[in-house]
Structures are given as C-alpha cells and as structure tokens.
Chain A
C-alpha cells in the first residue's frame, strides 16, 4: 500500500494566502471593478448629458432635432444642420476610405513582397499618430488648395448647375474650398490608417489553408482574394469600418478647420457646413445663456446617442455575418 502525504504538510501555506485562494479572489475583484467602472462611465456620461439639457428638452422637445434654424442670439436652436453635417461628412469619409483602406490591406497582406510589408505597415500606422490639429493645418494650407479645390471644381463643372455631363443637386452652388467635401476628404485621410491597419491584420489572420484551397482548385490570385480571403475576413473588415466610422463621427479639430462652419442645411457637398462636434467646440465659450449651454449639451447628447446606436447597428451587422459563416474548424 502506498501512503501519500498531503502536499500541505510539506509546503505550509500561510493562512492569508489560503483565505484569498492564492490571490485569485483579489484578482477577480480588481477585474470586475475595472469592468464596472467602464460601464459606469458610459452610463454616467449619458445621465449627465440628459440632466444638464433639461432646459432645451423641455422648451423645444423633438423640434430641436427637426428645426434647421440655429440662431442663438434670437434663441432659436435647431440642430438639424449639425446632425446632417456630421452624417454627410462621415459617410463621405467612409465612401472614400473604405475602398482605399481595404485596397491597402489587400496589398500589404496578399501582394506586397514580405520584406516591404513591415516598413509599409508602420508607415500606414504612423498616419494614425498624426495629431488632428496638424491634419487640420495641412488641410487648410495643402490639401484643400491642391486636391479638394481642383476636385470640387471638376465636379461642379461636370455635374453642377447645367453641368457638362449631368445635373446633380449634390454638386450645386458656389464652391470656395471649405465645404462638406473638404471635411469628408480630410476625415477619409484620418480614418484610412485605422481601416487599413485593422483590415490588414484581419486578412493576415485568414488561415493559409483557405488560400491553398482556393489556388488548389484553379483560382487566380484575384479570385482567391475576392472570393475566398475577403469573404472569410468580412466580419473583421466590417469591424474595422465601424472603428473608422466612430472616429469620423467624433472628429472635431480637423473638420472644424476645413468645413467652413456655417450652420445651414444644404444638399450640396460643395457648400460649407457644420458638424455636431465642431459647433460644440466653436461655440462653447460664447454660450452666455442657460438655454444656449443646454442646446450645445443637447447636441452632445445627440452625438452620444448617435454613436451608441451606430455601434450597436454595426455590431448587429458583424454578428449576422459571423452567424451566416461560422469559421470554427473541426
């Protein structure tokens, strides 16, 4: 018969250590607290915004969102131009940056020679490290005059009022450079590294066996990328686009510097506009009356709700894609 001694007689454990299960209990407490703190922050911001905006919410109700006149001195507060401005610039930014960013990701992950991959990748990521105000300055002095202006003039001539090609209201009206188009374009540049870098990581994580399967059946490189690698990474790429959208919605400084800051509602990309973040940053110092302050805070509340809703929507999209194409392997 074998006599086994309990381990504890050889290695006596201190009482305190045993009480806390060798540190597992304190560790768990710290982790749970950190999680709750994050949650509390989000809820707290929402509640704070809700409470501090009671003046305009009571007075204006839903018309705050639907009214298009923003005249603080006349106590007219309509947030529609800002909501529309934020949506237009963000969507424009995605329209430009998603194809570019995914294209960069495809190049870096699939086509680029291995020894160029790291340096090029670092350069793309560096783009994300440029401070927003620097992008704004660069936009004012370089990007808008050399890229946006010629592009806008071309669009105006081709598609504007009695344009050469076709008349699109999207490109009507006078064009001076600072516009939705300029803001959307600069946002695209700022969002680009996020989308490109994350999409690249997603594509690099697609198992090599998937590519082998595609090539082994007679796919060209194009077909393998387009029909196997990209669909496999679709949910991850959507995630990258969501992160980009999040940045575009909230971006303040660079947009404020190139959008023109005119609180008007316009269907033309060439006219100047305003975004929610820009108006808060610009006018906070002038908010002399409680109603004015409340109106700006309510714009903040709207932006907050919009971001949360868009994130939820996007998460649903990712989830439904993953559900359709589960990727676990046997």
Chain B
C-alpha cells in the first residue's frame, strides 16, 4: 500500500471488526470495479449502523406535503439527502417526483397557489421558514432541468451569468470561474476555442452540460436534476452520468429519473414514490440503491423496478 494515501484512510473499529474506509479522491490505487466500489461504500454505513445514522444529511424533508391550491400533490415525504452522494427519486408518472424535487429549492413558489406543509431542512435550517431568502436558497441549491435551457447568449456569458448577479468581478477572476466550471462539467475541451459563440449552436448534450456548468459556477451545495437526460441520446446520457460521478465528490446530488437502469447505475440511495388513491404522491420506500433494486421490502417497489408495471 502506498504510504501517501494511508493518511486519507479512516479506520473504524466496530464489533471487533476493523473496516478500512477509502477516503475521497484517493481511489486510483483501489483495484476494483466501480460497481464493487459502490457496494463497498453503500455497505459500510449498514455495517457501521448507528455511526452512519449520526451523520446529519445535507438536506432532509420532514413530513413534507406540497399542495397546488387544495390539491395535495405530495404527501408526508421524509427524505434524507446525504452530502457527496447521489439520491435518486423514482416512480411512475404523476407520482409527484418533479414536484418533490422542485420543492427542494422552492421552485414551486413560482406556481400560483402552490404551497408547502412540513419542513425542508438544509444544513439544519428550514428553507420554508419565514424570513428565509429564497433567492439565496436557489443559489445554494442549484437546478438542472429536463430540457437544456441555455440562455440565448454566448457560452461564456451563460456560465458567467449567475456569477455576475453578485456584482462586478475582475475579468481574470471571471475567466477562471468560467474555465473551472466548464472543466468540471466536462465541456471545456469541446468549447474552449469558441467561448464567444452562441450557446444555442451546441448539441443537446453539450447544452445540458453547459447548464450544469452554469449551475456550478455559483458554487451551490446541492444540485437538483429533474430528468436531466430525458431529452438526450444515449451517448450524451452516458456523459452526463459520468459527470455526475465526478460532481458527487463535491456536491449532494438529487436526481429524478424515469430510467430505472440510470437510477441503479448512478445513485447511492433511492426513494421510490407512488400515487395514493387520493392522487397524492407518497414515498413508499427509501433505502440504499442496491437494496431497492435487489431486495426491496415493498412489493410495489419490486414490481416497479423489475418492470412489471410503470
């Protein structure tokens, strides 16, 4: 074992068994497939039991209900979103997945008549409490939408857009932020020679990565992705999925997806939602992704993930 990486390791001793957990960013020497690594990560907290539970989630909805007028679209959802993990929300159409994810940065506020009951905690603070700066919440909890929605401006201006909202910044510094954001969204090499060109000329997949760059340029803490690949071809989808694995080194990510293979491939934990008889969406199961897809507790989850309906 290389000495350099040993300092990044954390040894947890529980029940007489020593589990060596790999620190972040020192994965290369671990000679295992990505899937095995994911398993190792997702199994560790289960073995560590209460030690993992003590870690406060980055975000947490508490008995969250969302109403459109009198209609309850989402009922009593308690969903933890862990930092530096990917949380997937799956379920059949109309079960309130999008409504739920859009409540995490209060995008639902823009719909007339929409209101929330319960809490959404971000670092222990309820974002629906009175006196909360919604604009700041949306900066801290960024969002990527179903269809790429770059502004009809240049590539550079798209990425710089959010940063410029916070006042004038020296050109060199802004250049740095734009480059870093584009590098982290794996778009830099494709666009570095045409930063002044219109973002509308990019392909759909590139536009979506540009939207991701635009979101991370303002240094959010959580990134919400509402079916980010539904308008993209498989190659572009793969790129976004790889990118998500990179991004989770730094951010908590929540993704809504209709594609169960995608949820299984990319996420660490999965929430399964269903529509109740009164048409309100509820979360019927939440667990490690691996468990949801191999031995779910709820029969409906099993039917859904095995493709028997939905």
Interface residues of chain A, those whose CB is within 8 Å of chain B, are 113-114, 207, 209-220, 223, 227-228, 231-232, 324-330
Contacts and interface: CB of A to CB of B under 8 A. Distances in A.
28 contacts: A113-B112, A114-B112, A209-B145, A209-B149, A212-B107, A212-B143, A212-B149, A213-B214, A215-B138, A216-B105, A216-B107, A216-B215, A217-B162, A217-B218, A218-B136, A218-B139, A220-B135, A227-B161, A231-B151, A231-B153, A232-B152, A324-B198, A325-B152, A326-B200, A329-B147, A330-B148, A330-B200, A330-B203
A330 B151 CA distance: 13
B284 interface: no
A221 to B, nearest CB: 9
Given A114-B112, A216-B107, A218-B135, A326 B162 contact: no
Interface in B107-154: 107, 110, 112, 135-136, 138-139, 142-143, 145, 147-153
B202 A218 contact: no
Interface residues of B, number: 32
Contacts of A215: 107, 110, 138
A195 to B, nearest CB: 22
B36 interface: no
B149 A328 contact: no
Given A212-B145, A218-B218, A330-B202, A232 B107 contact: no
B200 A329 contact: yes
B204 interface: yes
Nearest to B158: A213
Nearest to A217: B162
Given A207-B149, A212-B145, A213-B145, 11 more contacts: A209-B147, A212-B110, A213-B150, A213-B211, A217-B142, A217-B161, A219-B135, A231-B152, A329-B147, A330-B148, A330-B203
Contacts of B204: 330
Q: 5 shortest A-B CB distances, which residue pairs?
A: A218-B139, A209-B149, A216-B143, A325-B152, A217-B162
Main secondary structure of the interface of A (DSSP, over half): helix
B151 A228 contact: yes
A213 B203 CA distance: 18
Nearest to A115: B112
Nearest to B151: A228
A55 B150 CA distance: 60
B20 interface: no
Contact of B200 (A217, A220, A223, A327): A327
B138 A216 contact: yes
Nearest to A328: B200
Nearest to B109: A215
Contacts of A211: 110
B10 to A, nearest CB: 35
Given A114-B112, A326-B201, A330-B202, A217 B147 contact: no
A329 to B, nearest CB: 7
Contacts of B148: 329-330
A323 to B, nearest CB: 10
Contacts of B202: 330
Given A218-B218, A330-B204, A213 B153 contact: no
A210 B201 contact: no
B54 interface: no
Contacts of B161: 217, 227
B185 interface: no
B267 interface: no
A218 B167 CA distance: 13
B101 to A, nearest CB: 11
A216 B141 CA distance: 8
